[in-house]
Amino acid sequence: MKKNTYLLILLIPAYFLLSYSSGAPFGYSGSPGDNGRTCTQCHTADGNSYMPSIALQNFPATYQPGQTYRIHLTVGGTSNSKFGFEATVEDNNHQKQGVFGAVSGSTQAIQNNTYITHTSSSTTAGDWLFDWTAPAAGHGTLKMYYAINLANGNGQSTGDYVQSDFAEMQEDVSNLTEIKKNKLEIYPNPAVEIINIKNLEMQDMQAEAIDMAGRIYPLHKYANRIYISHLPKGNYVLKLKNDKIAYTKTFIKK
């Protein structure tokens, strides 16, 4: 017996539809970091344009670093019987930023909380609630990309309609006198155990590393050295800050 829940899946081969009926697999938000992939790679339209009305309520045009925002994504103006979605946030380098959190059972965060998608209990309303926590300071302009599948409920991946778009937000730096990027000189980079800082008095500075998912790792410093041996391998933003100024620099932990 066919199940209409097959149509809730975003962007997967037909024989995987049942496996992902409770949420989309990561990597299909339509973002540049996802190579522009959207639900159209599986779900095909029937030639009709449903002209959905999509709203991102409480979406911050300006975000504060570390702040959590509760966002309400809704789809209206259509008669489709099933809905599914996936969203992610990226910076201008197409790196994932911030972390998502599920709310009220209508959504679930996946892939280390860098994506948010629907659950099986939220596919009939086109109405989803989720949290997004902004990364630490120094990431500038961010974009939330989303892909929404409007399914016709025929039990197949045909005759559906996919809508994808993005919304942009700017970093609020009003709490700092200045954020200086690229003026921070560090070596070596990539580094394994220690990063050395050039031409900066660090006595009153706090040091931390922010990974690409927005997780913050406090760092120990001594003189002009910062110790990073405890960090997992990967790409990070090094941040040195006090109550007046912040310096940031990207680095690689090997």
Complete domains list, the chain, with CATH? 4-171 (2.60.40.4060), 178-253 (2.60.40.3080)
Categorize the per-residue pLDDT at 4 as very low, low, confident or very high, splitting at 50, 70 and 90: very low
Whole-structure pTM value:
0.62
Strand order, beta sheet including 99-102: 53-57, 68-76, 127-133, 99-102
Angstrom distance (rounded) from CA 123 to CA 106: 8
Query: What is the percent of the chain where pLDDT is above 90?
Result: 43
Using DSSP, state whether 35 is helix, strand or coil.
Answer: coil
pLDDT higher than threshold 60 for residue 11: no
With contact defined as beta carbons under 8 Å apart, do 143 and 33 qualify?
no
Q: Which amino acid is at 220?
A: H
pLDDT higher than threshold 60 for residue 66: yes
Per the model's pLDDT, the better-predicted residue between 213 and 68 turns out to be 68
Mean pLDDT computed over every residue of the chain: 81
pLDDT for 79: 73
pLDDT for 117: 94
Categorize the per-residue pLDDT at 19 as very low, low, confident or very high, splitting at 50, 70 and 90: very low
pLDDT for 200: 82
Structure tokens at 143: 């974009």
Q: Which amino acid is at 70?
A: R
